[in-house]
Amino acid sequence: MKLVCAQSDLSTNLSLVSRAVPSRPTHPVLANVLLTADEETQQVQLTGFDLSVGIRTSFAARVEEGGEITLPAKILNDIVSRMPEGDIQLEERAVDAESEAPETSIIATLTSTSGSYTVRGMEAADFPALPVIEDSEAKAIYLPAEALIEGLRGCLFASSPDETKQVLTGVHLTLDRDGIEFAATDGHRLAVVETVTNASEDEEEEYEDASEAEELEVTVPARALRELERMIGMRQSPEPVALHLDGGQIVFELGTQRLTSRKLEGMYPNYRMLIPNQFLSEINLERRRLLSALERIAVIADQKNHIVKCTVDRDNQEIYLSVEAQDVGSGREALPADISGDEPKEIAFNVRYLMDILKTMTCAEVTVKLNDMTSPVILTPLSGQKQTFLVMPVQLRA
């Protein structure tokens, strides 16, 4: 292999695929990136893969001799990112058979204007193959980038970080003609975001084809979707993201970039059932003001059990937040609110759950809907995005 490419291209693409390289690889070759140079297309392809999430990207280069090699992701990335701007030559070097054992004889040389580095690699054949979409007949579904960003930003925080929680470690996507619904829950709180997919004229035809199928549902690991969110955020292009589903795999394509992930198998909870239809009270509050008050309350609450108590004073149109941590201290905040319906009893929450939701929202005013002190509470923006957040109250000892 022999090629010349721009330092900025190699560096940007290396840091992108390195996100899928595991920090503690189960097999040595997984600490590497797969580098494939194609003489015909004059393209270099990079792949990082931790057996669950894979990122593949390609960029133009002057490929003098094609080939495949795997190289240590971290060291390669660290060197290339520190190289001066300009051309980098990358060449696979034959190693003197006398001085080196043949099984370790894969070495790449990187040369920039300032200096030259060699890095020891491994056989490309040892690198596990990225899942391919076997059913090539299946059409891609095109998703608008803005809808994906909106849905992921509003949902990802609510998925469970606990690997034993299976489907709850993912975000559940429901696609139909009208749009995509995103949902995530860890059992204590739930986030649902409905987005409208306004396919542009150009994609209209393809999009129509895809959505002629029935409603499509899939649960994707949050870890993969966090990378997707980053990848969309970094792109300049407003192009839609192509989604391929096949067997246990899901593939997102963003121009020359591709993210693959296993799907999460298993029944996703029927979360719609959890959201009450009727409420006894409805409270409108300034979101930022409520968040600031909770941040102060959390200083004390985090010393103990994270519990904040809320009481509602309809006559004064105020809500009160309070916290009590023995041996530490206590706190109380009063906030103006627009309260309608019944005056509910004292209700308690994990302060962190409320803060996560309010930080995710971008609206100026938030509507809180509630029934009694043991029923789920719903937060929605007073206007704007179609977000629904549910949080379970904490039961206080009598």
Which stretch, 31-39, 116-124, 215-223, 339-347, contacts a second copy (CB under 8 A)?
A: 116-124
x/- site string to a second copy, residues 1 to 40, per CB under 8 A? Answer: ----------------------------------------
User: CB under 8 Å to 303, separation ≥6 — which residues?
Assistant: 325, 328
Choose, by CB under 8 A, the member of 41, 118, 198, 362 that binds a second copy.
Answer: 118
SS3 call for 71: strand
Site string for a second copy, 254-273 (x = CB under 8 A): --------------------
Contact pattern from residue 183 through residue 212 relative to a second copy, giving x for each residue in contact according to CB under 8 A and a dash for the rest: ------------------------------
Q: How many residues does the chain have?
A: 398
- Which of 117, 123, 245, 284 is the binder for a second copy (CB under 8 A)? 117
Q: Give CA–CA dist 47/56, Å, rounded.
A: 4
Residue 184 CA to its chain's centroid (Å): 12
The one segment of 56-64, 117-125, 128-136, 155-163 that binds a second copy by CB under 8 A: 117-125
Q: Which is nearer to a second copy, 300 or 377 (CB)?
A: 300
User: Among 107, 274, 348, 363, which residue sits at the site for a second copy (rule: CB under 8 A)?
Assistant: 107
**CB-CB contact of 252 with 228 (8 Å):** yes
Distance from the first to the final alpha carbon of the chain? 73
Residue choice 210, 232, 259, 300 for contact with a second copy (CB under 8 A):
300
Within 194-314, residue ranges assigned H as helices are: 201-211, 222-234, 287-301
Q: Nearest Cα to 166, choosing from 269, 266, 54? A: 266
Binding to a second copy by CB under 8 A, coded x per residue (else -) over 307-346, reads: --------------x-----xxxxxxxxx-----------
Phi, psi at residue 203, to the nearest 5°?
-90, -5
Counting contacts by CB under 8 A, is residue 91 touching a second copy?
no
Task: Judge whether 63 and 3 are in contact, CB under 8 Å.
Answer: yes
| Cβ-based nearer residue to a second copy, 213 or 328 | 328
Residue 106 · residue 120 · CB < 8 Å: yes
